[in-house]
Chain A
Amino acid sequence: MPASLYLCLYIRDFAAQTLVRLRPELRQCPVAILDGIAPLETVFVLNERARSLGLESGMARLQAESFSGVAVAKRVKHEEDSAFLMLMQCAERFSPRIEVLASPGERTSGATLVLDVSDSERLLGIPQQIAEALQRKVNAAGLEPSVAISRNANAAVLAARGCPGITVVPLGEEAQSLARLPLAVLELEPEQEETFASWGIKTLGALAALPQKALIARVGQAGYRLQALSRGEYEHLLVPAEAAVDAVFNESVELEHPVDLLEPLLFLLSRMLDQILARAAEHALAIAGVETRLKLQSAQGKEHRRVVRPALPERNHATLLKLIQLDLEMHPPHAAVIALHMQGQPARPQTVQQGLFVPQTPEAGRLEVLLARLRKLVGEDRVGAPELLDNHRPDAFRMAAFQSNPNPVQVAGNGIHTSALRILRPPRAVRVEMQQRRMVALSLDGLKLHVDKASGPWKASGAWWTHTQWCREEWDVTLATTLQEQEKLYCRVAYDPGARCWYLTGIYD
């Protein structure tokens, strides 16, 4: 059986290289890439030049910026994704069997790909030539890789991590080739790192030289694996990357001409949705959400992104399409569309068992469409169930999704009669006449009403620490209407000291 041959492609400080790829003028500069949410960004990746200046991973933005001449940039995830995609494309030209050992994930600084290049010599040349060809390709794409080739996949990985440029590990000389590499290439657990440091073991060669049984007796089976790795003897079972299931639920269309009408777009979106739903059905899944990204003609390729999420995972094409349509009608793109991308979020379908004695409820999909229609009609924040907020601000509430509460809160009566208040939205501006700090009359739409009784002011204020600081004084007043003297009107009147305005805010039943 012919011996296998593996190539490892390693991009050190991937995020920094991604930036330099797009801004070649920074190639000779120290670069620090920040990650995290402003203002708490910390240094995530550095290039060698920055490291030599004394910058460290984990430094705060301010600290990093205090070093002169350092290019400090924020991490751009999609740029990394596209650089990685390009890297994969380069690799795919050399082998169909590629394992991704480390992709530029959330907190990984380097990217590592292992390619099975067994039996490629005739096609691509000797190992050195294969490595050089791949290096050229990746260089042309703007990245600087380390490439290592070995009959042992792990040896190739370690060599690539430890040596810049190209390394060809000759068969049978794995141990010698790896011996001088630092222990860091093994990516040890902190505890192992501490043990080996206390032993003074700094290179793979030193680790390889330790007596095996004694090492295992001390470090356990991990000791065996680490020593075999450092001797270039630890076998690796290559697991080629496969397209993820999620990728199945993506659909994209590039348009020949810009489209600025919703109808033709919907026609295309319907087809795309059909495809996604069909694939979902194949996997016995439903769609929990649909993300639509419309690439716009103007504004430097800006995207218009909308997400529709039904209350329950949905399989019905018409429902989902209607939801997308209503959503786009409410939030139309502000320029003509030149490309479409749709991504479905798969989920397990949910079925609801109707109880025999439970009142019939509307079908979930139809209810969803109805609510979407209502939202379109009256505005997004005006559909749902009102929910009081934990805040003293008068009338502080928000609209939340409808939710049936099996245990409604009982309003305890304390023996004091309270009457219902009908709140006027928006409140109506009124004029108030005061005499000797007492309210005597109120004018509403030119109609002057005599104030019979007034109690107040009831003062409330808050949010003094923000620009939305508020302050309000309220009175409960009894108005004698001029039309029918015997009838009284019980109202709530408010004064906003900030705006110096009076409002009628509600009427008591």
Chain B
Amino acid sequence: MYVELHARSAFSFLEGASLPENLMIRCAELGMPAMALLDRNGLYGAPRFHVTAEKLGLRAHIGAEIAVRDIGDRARPPAWVPHSVPVEPVRFALLAESAAGYQNLCRMITGYKLREGTKAEGSATLADIQEHSAGLICLTGGDEGPLAAALERGGFDEAQNEVERLVNLFGKRNVYVELQRHFDRNEERRNQAAVRIARTLSLPLLATNGVSYATAQDREVMDVLTTIRHHCSLETAGRLLAVNGERYLRSAAEMEESFRDLPEAIANTQELSTRLSYKMCDLGYRFPNYPVPDGDTMQSFLEKRVEEGVRERYLPKQKPKLMEKAKQQANRELALIGQLELAGYFLIVWDMVQFCRREGILVQGRGSAANSVVCYVLGITAIDPVGMELLFERFLTAERGEWPDIDLDLPSGDHRERAIQYVYQRYGELGAAMTANVITYRGKSAAREAGKALGFDAETLNRLTKLVGAWEWKGPTDTLHHSFRTAGFDIHHRRVAKYLQICERMQDIPRHLGQHSGGMVICAGHLSEVVPIEPASMPGRTVIQWDKEDCSDMKIIKVDLLGLGMMAVLEDCFNLVPQHYKEPLEMGQLPGDDPEVYRTLQRADTVGMFQVESRAQMSALPRNRPEHFYDLVVQVAIIRPGPIVGKMMHPYMKRRQGKEAVTYAHPLLEPVLQRTLGVPLFQEQLIRMSMIVANFSGGEAEELRRAMGMRRSQARMKELETKLRRGMTVNGIRLQAQEEIVQSIASFALYGFPESHAASFALIAYASAYLKCYYLAAFTAAMLNNQPMGFYNPSTLVKDAQLHGLRVKPIDVLHSDWFCTLEPETCEEPETATQGRKRFAMRLGLLYARGLRKEAGEAVVHARKIRPFDSIHNLALRVPELRKSDLTMLARVGALNSLGEGIHRRDALWQVEYAGRPAGPLLRQLPEPVEVTAVQSPLAQMTIDERLAADFQGTGVTVGPHPMVYQRNRLSEMGIVRARDLKNFPHGRKTQIAGCVIARQRPGTAKGFVFLSLEDETGISNAIVTPAVYELYRHLVTYGKFLIIEGKLQNQENVISVKADSVRLLEIRSIEVRSHDFH
């Protein structure tokens, strides 16, 4: 019997070609009882390896190859042989024998990784090894190991000394002399020496295959990865590539045949495998305790906070029944929390939220946590689960055996970083870290890297990647094969054929480790004993070697501190409104169910609003006509791939519009599905359905949802389904109704959306809609200050705000701050929805001056506060941070026009050219000669076209009329209809629309249809391009900036679009507008 004890996976980043799970699957196929994974400088692949082994009933041994810097470099080909093998430190192959060994390994890797300070491979010192050697078994290694290096360096004696050193470090019992046989003459020479050393020192021999990939065919991928690692091509890699393809996972029979002269080397693999008692289930991870005052336990402390919270949240509502219900629910939840010993977890999240509140950082929990009244009363979430009748079981059940998942939404940017740093500070550098995000080779990256390896030059690859369809929808022609044929490549040519194969086989291979956008793990004691921690590329951040799935599999708690652009917008608005409008405004105090907000939503006038601004939402809003908050919750949830694919969207809409009767598969389901008109839309409903119709417990119902959703275990799914049917039969539900219920659960489990999550998002959506309706200037300024975010570009946001009556003022060095700001309107305007509120205009900030650095912008504002600028020369003199190119750009966009009486952009440009000339400080101070600095320039004023081009080029927006205004006469003659006028035309009429393309979409659910949004001076018109028309006008649809689209008008229930028959380019002078393309 043979056990492979030295294998590298693809998590050795470019030194292994198979994923850990594939290695383990192959191990099972070969009938091997166990296997060890030793990735380079880390335990990146260990969780997947372990989890797969658990599933397959095998044993996973964990270890790592550790680079050691102070005992020389690893063996390289001799100097007389031409090669480009780089100098690298020797690597020790270490296996964790016990939990202590595993912890030592984690600590050692963390130690030297963090010592590097930046993201780097790093290497241990002998002192590190000595300190952490307990519980570890050391193999002498293959090419990369210390024995091979010493043999190369100084022959047999040196090699023997080196092995003796290992014995001193790890103890005689814990060193195995490793033998690998890849049918290589030089390696065999080394093996002969190793056998002699083992005999001399009485050490056991150990056969391994130094595995780098699962099957022999993977050698090709391995070679390509090698070239990527060494930045060369297959042609030039030479001896960097392996001499043959023997590093695959071999069967016991093959290994026994190879080592028939040394049977003990094979036998020892089993012996060592038995010795390696450590299993990764035993990680020793504990969530930290929350410090509570003397006399309190965490549970009692939590109970007190909940009691306070219930009073705080429910007393003002003045609904005693609701409060009583909330108390009961809270007690129920607290009992379960107590039973599961989760009080500490809730208190720690509460602590984070408290910190954010103290610091004035807007925070709101999302996800299933919104189902919990405990979370609500602790201030973690903002949705009242009792009032909304949300289902707690979706969040937490006794049966699930998993940690609850609380995600916190924070304003993206500095505020979120402060919250993250608070966690680091509170739990220590070795107690908290971000989760990793494994970046893998995907379509384009694989194509590019494989292409480089095979010697295709950069330009050819660029052309090719352009050809590869970048849209979300992959049509039948969007394959690499098709692209190659289109580009004129012969796919039967060996190199091309190999390229295509490699591209496909490289998919999902890890490329490097990034950090997750917000997931943090914290640990009682040292996290570095549970998983290695390494520095992230971002200063002040550390990251563990596992991603969030691995953390979940290994039962490590993660708290997501997610950055949400709209939270930053809301936070900015909550500062701007009291500051300018002198009205107090807080998230929790927004008036509920404001009719004006719902009227706006019903009109689909939602540009800039959270979650309801997309094109699909805009077409659904006039049909669903939301009138209350819950309608908005449904609205947020319904435009998702899930309900669309699950075909739930249309039945709900039809029922909402009264076109279809509201029915239920069984009367028992009425209370559950009443709010969604008999159509199951939320995961909570699915859980409730199974609880009601089949008497499932909360935990069982949640398990059913997961089993159906993940489709992980067919057997378990079948078992639960049988139980469900049995339960329904007991409850007297007819067979037909049973079938209907099972069908709806099965189809929806895969795509359902949690109601609590939808409610949290709906709350933010409502807030954004409210702010846009009543505080447009503040909302627009906040939106523009937090770009990029949302569905639309700044130019569209500006035009939409202008259409709603906001005056947007251009950048002006005498008035603009770095960010967009509000300026009081002086002129009297008719009263609108603002109900007599003071009116404001919005001033574009200097951040919109393209290319202007923040420090230069802030220097302008700072200098201006001391004394306003009186001329361009004065500006250039007093703000040396402004380069000449900055001045030119500011002049070009009209930001300097106020620095002189009646000067236009060209006058400013004329002056800037003089003021910004390179001159030393002495000459710059000289008085300006009149003949060269006359305020009036000899230059002609910019034309409208030129001004527009300059605006878009310099700021990406124009505050003047929309570019289409200037084309209108011409377009009207051509019979082109304005966006606003489309509603006056009948359904089915042949129509032409034109405008600037602001969004293009080819959603995966739309079967190749492309959706274009065109903007003109009156608003946005929508066009639908069928796959056939797309093929005809592919280039125009993909790249055209201004388009004319002709086709039949579709006007159904106030949702208007044009189904394109033809697409033409609208010739407009080179205005650089940008569209938001969803790839």
Give me the interface of A with B, judged by CB distance under 8 Å.
39-40, 60, 62, 195, 198-201, 209-211, 213-214, 217-219, 387-392, 409-416, 455-462, 464-467, 469, 473-474, 476
Contact = CB atoms under 8 A, between A and B. Distances in A.
Interface stretch (B672-680, B744-752, B905-913): B905-913
Given A199-B939, A214-B931, A410-B79, 5 more contacts: A199-B909, A219-B913, A414-B155, A458-B184, A460-B243
B244 A461 contact: yes
A190 B151 CA distance: 61
Contacts of A392: 238-239, 241, 243
Contacts of B78: 411-412
B495 A466 contact: yes
A458 to B, nearest CB: 5
Interface string B476-495: 00000000000110000011
Contact of B494 (A60, A209, A467): A467
A414 B151 contact: yes
A199 B223 CA distance: 56
Nearest to B934: A214
Given A62-B463, A410-B79, A390 B243 contact: no
B733 interface: no
B223 to A, nearest CB: 8
Nearest to A469: B494
A414 B494 contact: no
A199 B495 contact: no
Contacts of A39: 460, 488
Contacts of A60: 459, 463
A217 B929 CA distance: 10
Given A62-B487, A414-B154, A458-B184, A465 B243 contact: no
Contacts of A198: 888, 892, 909
B332 interface: no
B494 to A, nearest CB: 5
B238 A217 contact: no
Contacts of A213: 931-932
B586 interface: no
22 contacts: A199-B939, A200-B939, A211-B931, A214-B910, A214-B938, A217-B932, A218-B917, A387-B82, A392-B243, A411-B79, A412-B79, A413-B155, A416-B155, A416-B156, A458-B184, A461-B245, A462-B243, A464-B219, A464-B220, A464-B223, A465-B495, A466-B495
B981 to A, nearest CB: 32
Interface of B: 78-84, 151-152, 154-157, 182-185, 188-189, 193, 219-220, 223, 234, 238-239, 241, 243-246, 454, 457, 459-460, 463, 487-488, 494-495, 498, 888, 892, 906, 909-910, 913-914, 917, 929, 931-932, 934, 938-940, 942, 946
A200 B931 contact: no
A213 B155 CA distance: 81
A200 B932 contact: no
A475 B157 CA distance: 29
B81 A200 contact: no
Nearest to B236: A390
A198 B223 CA distance: 53
Nearest to A473: B183
Nearest to B239: A390
Nearest to B915: A218
A222 to B, nearest CB: 13
A460 B184 CA distance: 8
B459 A462 contact: no
Contacts of B910: 199, 214, 218
Contacts of A474: 185
B585 to A, nearest CB: 44
A460 B238 CA distance: 13
Contacts of B157: 415
A416 B220 contact: no
A424 B468 CA distance: 51
Given A62-B463, A200-B940, A414 B152 contact: yes
A77 to B, nearest CB: 22
A39 B457 CA distance: 10
B906 A416 contact: no
A454 to B, nearest CB: 13
Most chain A Cβ neighbours within 10 Å, of B157, B246, B913, B934 = B913
B232 to A, nearest CB: 10
Contacts of A388: 80-82
A465 B450 CA distance: 11
Contacts of B460: 39-40
Contacts of A411: 78-80
B828 to A, nearest CB: 38
Contacts of A210: 938
A199 B946 CA distance: 11
Contacts of B457: 40
A392 B152 CA distance: 19
B158 to A, nearest CB: 9
B906 A199 contact: yes
A85 B321 CA distance: 103
Contacts of A469: 494
Max count, chain B CB within 10 A of own CB: residue among A390, A391, A455: A390
B491 to A, nearest CB: 14
Shortest beta-carbon contacts, A-B, top 9: A390-B238, A415-B155, A218-B913, A459-B183, A217-B932, A390-B82, A414-B155, A459-B244, A214-B932
Contacts of B223: 464
A409 B80 contact: yes
B452 to A, nearest CB: 13
A393 to B, nearest CB: 10
A200 B906 contact: yes
Q: Report which residue of A410, A456, A464, A465 has the largest number of chain B beta carbons within 10 angstroms of its beta carbon.
A: A465
B940 A457 contact: no
A211 B938 contact: yes
Nearest to B928: A217
B244 A217 contact: no
A398 to B, nearest CB: 11
Contacts of A199: 906, 909-910, 913, 939
A40 B946 CA distance: 36
A460 B79 contact: no
Contacts of B243: 392, 459-462
A409 B77 CA distance: 13
B917 A460 contact: no
Contacts of B892: 198
Nearest to A216: B932
Nearest to A463: B234
A387 B487 CA distance: 40
Contacts of A458: 183-185, 188
A62 B488 contact: yes
B1064 to A, nearest CB: 14
B82 A40 contact: no
A284 B245 CA distance: 60
Contact of B239 (A211, A214, A391): A391
Looking at A409, A455, A466, the one whose CB has the most chain B CB atoms below 10 A away is A466
B184 to A, nearest CB: 6
Contact of A465 (B234, B463, B939): B234
Contacts of A459: 182-184, 243-244, 246
A200 B494 contact: no
Contacts of A460: 243-244
Nearest to B942: A200
A389 B459 contact: no
A476 B189 CA distance: 13
B449 to A, nearest CB: 14
Contacts of B940: 200
B183 A390 contact: no
A294 B80 CA distance: 44
A338 B84 CA distance: 51
Given A198-B892, A199-B906, A460-B244, A465 B938 contact: no
A392 B83 CA distance: 10
